[in-house]
Structure 1
Amino acid sequence: MNMYLRGIANLPIMPEVASRILSLNEQNSAYSFEQLEKIVKIDPGLTAKILKVANSALYSRPKEIDNLQTAIGLLGFKNIRSMVVLVTASTMVQASGNHRVLKHLWDESVRSAFYSRLLAIRTGNRDIAEEVFIAALLQDIGKLAFAVSETDAYTTMVEHSHESPPLPDQQLAQEEAKEFGMNHRELGAMILESWKFPDQYIEACRSHGSTTVSLRYRKLLSLISLGSGLSQVPQDKQLDDQSTQQLKTYLRYLGLSEDDLEPFRQQTETELSKDRMFIECRQMIA
């Protein structure tokens, strides 16, 4: 059995509801809103979790949101769609086992998703901000598959990659290929293909962190690669020359300069420290 088959065999299935919701087209808004509500309502547990996250996002409201229709109306189609993927992904991680590397991978994914969405908004790409959020959240699903199928070996590899100085994602991918015959990017793309996810999320798995990205998804990939890179810098540290050098390609694609990086990171950390939805999402995996 090859690595892909082992990984997919050990990984809990992403609920069908996530792939169905990602296929909905917001253009026909009345139909899509109705379908979104119908699909989510099929799973009472998912509905309850969505409402919990929605209430954390709208914590200043005097009255608690107690139904999906209100949540969709207040937060909008794209935000609710992101929440569905977020909640189903957290459920999948919880079902994968209870070892420390899973909590670490979840925390990294959530930070990457929130950082990347804020980066999209601040660079004038609000129209794809939720798409960027989902892509950043799912980009490392191949790491999760390694963690559940090759637990001991991959736990050691991940821990080693975070020693000082941390191992860049590209080098981690090389180590994975040497050890397992493929890297987390290839494995993640194959998994999302098998789940029939939209092309942009498959490409996000396959090409995130690469300096050679397809023209079709260049903006999305640049946003998640830069957002993820910044999100992984320890909060008490500043960007060093090596980190900045690795991010230069994405700066160029997004029309940013090196001087923009540290102010953005500091501002984002301040915002996220007060963001109740972000805090709630990190705590989904205890």
Structure 2
Amino acid sequence: MLSLEKLIERSGKLGSLPAIVYKVFAVMDESHSTATKIGKVINDDPALTARLLKLVNSPFYGFTAKVDTVYRAVALIGHEELRSVVIAASAINVFNGIPAELVSMKDFWKRSLAVAVTARVLAAFKREKTIERFFIAGLLHDIGSLLMYLKLPEEMAQVLQQETSNGIERARTEKEIIGYEHTEVGGGLLKKWNLPPQICASVRYQLEPGKAPEKEQESAWLLCLANEIVDKHFDLETGSELEEIAGEIDITVWQQNKLDPSLLSTILEKVQQQFESSKDVLIS
């Protein structure tokens, strides 16, 4: 059985962001970075260019005039949001070859996107300065599972079988069968990708936010709430609020996020809008 460290170490190209992502980030981080410089790098990747323009012209951003060049798109959405778009447009295509009997990739990314937009909406309600980091954390919150499906397919098949037949939660079963959870894998993989500590820690501790380092606890609690909202209140098939409530969210999770549960309907309305306006762009 692969240890957690060996699994991440041997993830190779299957567990790496495309080179274009790091090229874009390198230019963005230059002291004299400009929209023109960044745009030139993005233009070298036709697939990324197409997705960027399609997303920027969607209701997700709501610009009234058509944005027809990458340079204009970069200037309009700013560096922080650009990081989200670049990662979102690239990460979805990273993992290939996962057995269909283990996971439907379309369903996987639909749920991941729903958690991402929910985290983004929650961060906006909390008036966080960099809400796009929460979008990235939400989109990649379950990325550890994909690496486990790829590298440990037999063990993960056992995990899913026990989860289905016995109703035991997946993380607990992973711990029993494999020795570590998908959140530990995800946090370690994102650290390998050199993503910010806030994102890595929120993914790692989303199931147990109270155990996160003090600086990252707030982010972990927010991702925990985003997961709960999607699981219990959001219909992934219709992109709308569930007609039957799957279960109430623990009041502690709301309190840790300093948010009132009465905001739920407003939150879900905004989640629905953002989910629908980005789904067809990001999930092909």
Q: TM-score, normalised by structure 2?
A: 0.79
Are residue 183 (structure 1) and residue 181 (structure 2) matched? yes
Deviation readout 1:12-50 (Å, 9 max, x if unpaired): 42113334555676796x625445324323322111111
Give the letter for the 1:107 counterpart. K
**Match for residue 254 of structure 1 among 226, 243, 257:** 257
Q: Which residue does the alignment assign to 1:103? A: 106
The range that moved more, 69-78 or 140-149, is: 69-78
Instruction: Evaluate the alpha carbon distance shift between residue 148 and residue 272 of structure 1 in structure 2; reply closer, same or farther with a 3 A threshold.
Output: same
| Alpha-carbon distance in 2 for matches of 1:236, 1:162 | 23
Residue correspondence of structure 1 range 1-286 to structure 2 within 5 A: 2-4=2-4, 5-6=6-7, 8-9=11-12, 11-19=14-22, 21=24, 31=33, 33-56=35-58, 57-58=60-61, 61-63=64-66, 65-93=67-95, 95-97=96-98, 99=100, 100-125=103-128, 127-151=129-153, 153-154=155-156, 157-158=159-160, 161=163, 171-210=169-208, 211-234=210-233, 235-238=242-245, 240-241=247-248, 243-244=249-250, 248=252, 250-256=253-259, 260-261=260-261, 263-275=262-274, 276-281=276-281, 284-285=283-284
**How far did residue 86 of structure 1 move?**
0.6
Deviation readout 1:33-70 (Å, 9 max, x if unpaired): 4453243233221111111111113566353x221111
Alignment check: 8 A CA contact 2:52 2:89 kept? yes
Give the letter for the 1:39 counterpart. V
Alignment check: 8 A CA contact 1:26 1:77 kept? no
CA RMSD of aligned residues (A): 3.1
Q: Which has the higher contact order (CA 8 A, sep 6+)?
A: 1
Deviation readout 1:163-216 (Å, 9 max, x if unpaired): 897x6xxx4222112112221122122222322332222212221121322211
Give the letter for the 2:39 counterpart. E
Q: TM-score, normalised by structure 1?
A: 0.79
Instruction: Evaluate the alpha carbon distance shift between residue 23 and residue 142 of structure 1 in structure 2; reply closer, same or farther with a 3 A threshold.
Output: farther
SS of structure 2 residue aligned to 1:232: helix
Alignment check: 8 A CA contact 1:10 1:148 kept? no
**How far did residue 81 of structure 1 move?**
1.7
SS of structure 2 residue aligned to 1:208: coil
**How far did residue 110 of structure 1 move?**
0.7
Q: Which structure shows the bigger proportion of residues in helix conformation?
A: 1
Unaligned runs of 5+ in 2: 234-241
**How far did residue 124 of structure 1 move?**
2.1
Instruction: Evaluate the alpha carbon distance shift between residue 112 and residue 156 of structure 1 in structure 2; reply closer, same or farther with a 3 A threshold.
Output: farther
**How far did residue 118 of structure 1 move?**
0.4
| Alpha-carbon distance in 2 for matches of 1:107, 1:280 | 10
Give the letter for the 1:252 counterpart. Q
Give the letter for the 2:199 counterpart. Y
Q: Which residue does the alignment assign to 2:238? A: none
Alignment check: 8 A CA contact 2:117 2:135 kept? yes
Query: Percent of aligned pairs with the same residue?
Result: 20
| Alpha-carbon distance in 1 for matches of 2:30, 2:217 | 23
What is the aligned residue count?
268
